[in-house]
């Protein structure tokens, strides 16, 4: 069953997003927004903004954003229906449920997952039975991934054909838009539906509950394709920052051992599982994110990195330390023999994997060891250089006691006075911490005219929409945001933003969420006139080879109108004429 759409809108309009957020976050009024410390990441300056008029929130620090339902989902770790039910109870609204269907969103998700499930089975059967998969079977056998392993992880084979999968799924009743929305197919230049994956070993990716949501495809050795791995795009059912390969198989052991191992790739995860260490997962073509850590915290308190953590630590160490503090997890690093990854060791020395996990070092200790180990200490200058490099790494950590302890260990190891190095570790981060609970407001990104126009479209549609056309936006992201909002304008005024967000790509979603809480004080007409002037100048600069007399005359009049745009008395008439000129040139 699903909740009636009308009831969802009743709940949305019947609760105050400010009141809801204030149950979890201390907010104070600043201009038109309410501002506080973000509940989704650690910060000392308030960058979390809530706007009552648009019913949206946005953090300019971690980029979290959404409506009141999304906030409850994220803060309470519940699904959409549960969030609506919680808010309905708060507002005293009785919900009605459909009996003949599951609601559009859930029904659509089910359809996409069914198509992906069919693709998983189809690819898997091709690998097991098809003659064209012989090379793939030989490759997997050489990596120890054949037979029961391939069946356990449902590994498949995408044949080197244009549209075999697409035709098969179409025959099973799946519409072309479903194949598009799952990332299984796309329309090529001739408009023909074409398979996204060809001539690749296929690793299906599942949610922690076992639903297929995406694929990772690997080329065979000797292939001329420069991309070793090809991954599904983000879709309505697949977000890389919230998905971990192998979590569906690993979660029971993760809970039992209170430990999760994070790898770089699919074969590394499978290598751990083959070796009896069944609590390994991998990120899906992206760096480890805070969302990953938050998901894993539900299952375990200890996190072991089974990849090049030293490289990951360059520029990202503070995030690891922040996550350790915020989520109370312990991050350590497994070390493997040089040149070996977990997938290789699973075949050559499976026992080494368990040893590497047992002997994992704390993240900071591992990074320091990389700096100090193997460096000759033949002179005082050598010792001073190593101490300086180690101190740079040590001072990334926010805890003064941890810094002092590691500084002491390094001092003993390289033979310099402990007190001297410990003192430097103590004073590098010695700025006094204010005892005041007053929230300092963090700066928000600078607003340009294009961003202001997008924000005003969301907040004051009627005041600016008549002045805007697509050619006014030079920024690709702002242009796509305008197109998304314009396409959604047939919806009810209160749901234009929601309608746009459902069709927008991730970059535009982020921009729209920022714009929804932006505090724009400038007049809509001023923003529009600025955009028109800039766009006309941009187009005139491109028109260097105009030979038609009428076009030359029109361009000359446009330049004259630009001068009138700066005068208050003539600005509106000039803007109207220039917008007409620009529309004609665009056509």
Taking CA atoms, 491 is separated from 69, 105, 367, 515, in Å, by 19, 17, 54, 19
| Per-residue confidence (pLDDT) for residue 226, from 0 to 100 | 82
| Per-residue confidence (pLDDT) for residue 444, from 0 to 100 | 42
Q: What whole-number distance in Å separates Cα of residue 83 and Cα of residue 70?
A: 8
Q: 3-state DSSP call for residue 306? A: coil
Weakly modelled stretches of the chain, pLDDT under 70: 1, 99-106, 308-316, 339, 428-447, 490-495, 587
Beta strands, E only, 170-293: 185-187, 193-195, 200-206, 212-218, 229-231, 244-245, 259-263, 280-283
Residues 6+ apart with CB under 8 A from 73: 79, 80, 82, 83
Neighbours of 359 (CB within 10 A): 10
Q: What whole-number distance in Å separates Cα of residue 442 and Cα of residue 445?
A: 10
DSSP string, 346-365: HHH-THHHHHHHHTPEEHHH
Half-sphere exposure of 428 (CA within 13 A, CB side): 21
Class of domain 242-362: alpha beta
Helix or strand run (H / E) with residue 29:
strand 28-30
What's the pLDDT tens digit per position in 375-390? 788 888 888 889 998 9
pTM for the whole structure: 0.58
Q: What whole-number distance in Å separates Cα of residue 427 and Cα of residue 394?
A: 12
DSSP string, 500-529: HHHHS-HHHHHHHHHHHT----S-HHHHHH
User: What are φ and ψ of residue 215, in 5° steps?
Assistant: -140, 150
| Burial degree of 521 (CB within 10 A; 0-12, 13-18, 19+) | exposed
Q: What whole-number distance in Å separates Cα of residue 22 and Cα of residue 7?
A: 24
- For the chain, the domains span 5-91, 104-238, 242-362, 374-427, 449-586
Cα 566 to chain centroid, rounded: 42
Q: What whole-number distance in Å separates Cα of residue 73 and Cα of residue 337?
A: 43
Q: 3-state DSSP call for residue 30? A: strand
Place of tokens 């005068």: 567
Q: 3-state DSSP call for residue 373? A: coil
What's the pLDDT tens digit per position in 281-322? 999 988 888 889 988 887 788 999 998 655 555 556 778 888
Which fold would CATH assign to domain 104-238?
DNA primase DNAg catalytic core, N-terminal domain (3.90.980)
Residues 6+ apart with CB under 8 A from 566: none
Q: What is the DSSP letter of 241?
A: G
Residues 6+ apart with CB under 8 A from 161: 195, 198
| Per-residue confidence (pLDDT) for residue 104, from 0 to 100 | 66
Residues in the chain: 587
Q: What whole-number distance in Å separates Cα of residue 86 and Cα of residue 92?
A: 10
| Per-residue confidence (pLDDT) for residue 312, from 0 to 100 | 56
Domains 5-91 and 104-238 share a fold: no
Q: What whole-number distance in Å separates Cα of residue 565 and Cα of residue 581?
A: 14
Beta strands, E only, 86-235: 156-158, 185-187, 193-195, 200-206, 212-218, 229-231
Q: What whole-number distance in Å separates Cα of residue 509 and Cα of residue 55?
A: 15
Which fold would CATH assign to domain 5-91?
DNA Primase; Chain A (3.90.580)
Residue 112 near residue 181 (C-beta atoms within 8 A): yes
| Per-residue confidence (pLDDT) for residue 488, from 0 to 100 | 83
Taking CA atoms, 261 is separated from 213, 370, 409, in Å, by 22, 21, 27
DSSP string, 316-336: THHHHHHHHHHHT-EEEE---
């Amino acid at each position: 069953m699903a909740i009636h759409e009308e009831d969802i809108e009743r709940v949305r309009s019947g609760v105050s997003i400010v009141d809801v957020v204030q149950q979890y976050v201390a907010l104070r009024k600043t201009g038109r927004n309410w501002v506080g410390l973000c509940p989704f990441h650690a910060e000392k300056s308030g960058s979390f903004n809530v706007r009552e008029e648009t019913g949206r929130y946005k953090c300019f620090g971690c980029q979290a954003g959404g409506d009141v339902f999304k906030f409850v989902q994220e803060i309470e770790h519940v699904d959409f229906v549960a969030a609506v039910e919680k808010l309905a109870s708060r507002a005293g609204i009785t919900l009605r449920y459909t009996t003949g269907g599951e609601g559009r969103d859930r029904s659509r998700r089910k359809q996409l997952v069914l198509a992906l499930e069919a693709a998983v089975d189809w690819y898997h059967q091709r690998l097991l039975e098809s003659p064209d998969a012989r090379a793939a079977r030989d490759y997997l056998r050489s990596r120890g991934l054949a037979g029961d392993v391939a069946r356990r992880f449902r590994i498949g084979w995408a044949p080197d054909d244009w549209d075999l999968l697409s035709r098969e799924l179409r025959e099973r009743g799946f519409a072309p838009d479903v194949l598009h929305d799952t990332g299984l197919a796309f329309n090529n230049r001739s408009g023909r539906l074409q398979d996204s994956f060809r001539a690749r070993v296929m690793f299906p990716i599942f949610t922690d509950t076992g639903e297929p949501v995406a694929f990772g495809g690997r080329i065979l050795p000797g292939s001329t394709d420069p991309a070793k791995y090809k991954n599904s795009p983000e879709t309505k059912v697949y977000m890389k920052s919230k998905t971990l390969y192998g979590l569906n198989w690993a979660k029971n052991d993760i809970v039992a051992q209170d430990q999760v191992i994070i790898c770089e790739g699919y074969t590394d995860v499978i290598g751990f599982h083959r070796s009896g260490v069944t609590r390994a997962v991998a990120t899906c073509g992206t760096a480890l994110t805070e969302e990953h850590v938050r998901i894993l915290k539900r299952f375990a308190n200890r996190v072991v990195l089974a990849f090049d953590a030293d490289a990951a630590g360059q520029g990202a160490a503070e995030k690891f330390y922040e996550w350790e503090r915020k989520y109370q997890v312990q991050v350590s690093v497994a070390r493997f023999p040089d040149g070996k990854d977990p997938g290789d060791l699973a075949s050559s020395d499976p026992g080494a994997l368990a040893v590497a996990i047992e002997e994992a070092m704390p993240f900071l200790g591992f990074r320091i060891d990389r700096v100090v180990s193997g460096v000759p200490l033949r002179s005082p200058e050598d010792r001073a250089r190593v101490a300086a490099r180690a101190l740079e790494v040590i001072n990334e950590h926010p805890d003064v006691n941890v810094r002092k302890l590691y500084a002491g260990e390094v001092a003993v190891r390289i033979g310099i006075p402990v007190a001297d190095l410990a003192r430097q570790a103590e004073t590098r981060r010695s700025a006094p911490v204010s005892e005041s609970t007053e929230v300092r407001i963090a700066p928000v990104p600078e607003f340009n005219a294009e961003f202001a126009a997008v924000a005003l479209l969301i907040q004051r549609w009627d005041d600016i929409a008549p002045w805007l056309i697509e050619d006014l936006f030079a920024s690709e992201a702002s242009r796509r945001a305008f197109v998304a909002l314009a396409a959604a304008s047939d919806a009810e005024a209160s749901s234009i933003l929601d309608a746009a967000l459902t069709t927008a790509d991730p970059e535009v979603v982020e921009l729209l969420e920022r714009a929804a809480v932006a505090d724009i004080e400038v007049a809509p007409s001023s923003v529009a006139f600025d955009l028109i002037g800039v766009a006309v100048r941009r187009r005139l600069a491109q028109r260097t080879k105009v030979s038609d007399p009428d076009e030359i005359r029109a361009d000359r009049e446009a330049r004259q109108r630009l001068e009138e745009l700066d005068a208050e008395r003539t600005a509106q008439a000039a803007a109207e004429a220039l917008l007409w000129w620009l529309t004609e040139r665009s056509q």
